[in-house]
């Protein structure tokens, strides 16, 4: 298993995953320099996530004391059903965060309890409302 940036060569697999997940990660593929990442089992895309600027997200995040113009947001986290429950989402997030994050604070807005538990494993804590954050000065990965 390996994590890498998604590219044009992945368009068909991303489109299939978008259909299954309800996300629209395919829209970011063409100009993807550091936004959309995929987890691959050999050449098969088994999951993806995105990390981008948090500047246009909900008021909860922008009102947080640690928020600044460099803050990021993690979103569109998805693992195909047959690869769930095997630690693949955790691996994808750990590797993606280590590649992409060069800022103090990253946020996420988990809608499901299972995602909240996953995010806690990579150092996110409850922030405001349903938002969570990981402050790289204060938090460390939990194994």
Domains of the chain, residue spans: 2-135
pLDDT value, residue 60: 67
pLDDT at res. 18: 96
Which H or E element spans position 91? helix 88-100
The confidence score (pLDDT) of residue 63 equals 74
pLDDT at 78: 95
Give the pLDDT confidence score for residue 83 in this predicted structure: 97
Residue 17 parent element (H or E): helix 11-21
pLDDT value at residue 142: 42
Please tell me the CATH code under which domain 2-135 is placed.
Answer: 3.40.630.30
Q: Tell me which residue of 73, 69, 89, 79 sits closest to 131, measured CA to CA.
A: 73
CA 7 vs. chain centroid, Å, equals 17
Residues of the chain with pLDDT under 70: 56-60, 101-103, 128-130, 136-143
Q: What DSSP state is assigned to residue 143?
A: -
Nearest C-alpha neighbor of 94 from the set 143, 32, 21: 143
Residue in the block written with tokens 């630690």:
87
């Amino acid at each position: 298993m390996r994590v890498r940036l998604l590219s044009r060569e992945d368009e068909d697999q991303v489109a299939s995953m978008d259909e299954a997940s309800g996300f629209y990660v395919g829209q970011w593929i063409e100009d993807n320099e550091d936004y959309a990442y995929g987890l691959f089992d050999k050449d098969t895309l088994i999951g993806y996530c995105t990390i981008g600027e948090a500047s246009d997200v909900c008021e909860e995040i922008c009102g947080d004391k640690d928020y600044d113009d460099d803050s990021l947001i993690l979103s569109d986290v998805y693992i195909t059903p047959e690869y769930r429950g095997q630690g693949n989402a955790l691996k994808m997030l750990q590797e993606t965060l280590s590649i992409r994050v060069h800022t103090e604070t990253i946020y996420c807005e988990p809608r499901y309890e299972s995602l909240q538990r996953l995010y806690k494993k990579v150092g996110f804590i409850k922030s405001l409302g349903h938002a969570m954050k990981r402050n790289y000065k204060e938090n460390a990965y939990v194994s």
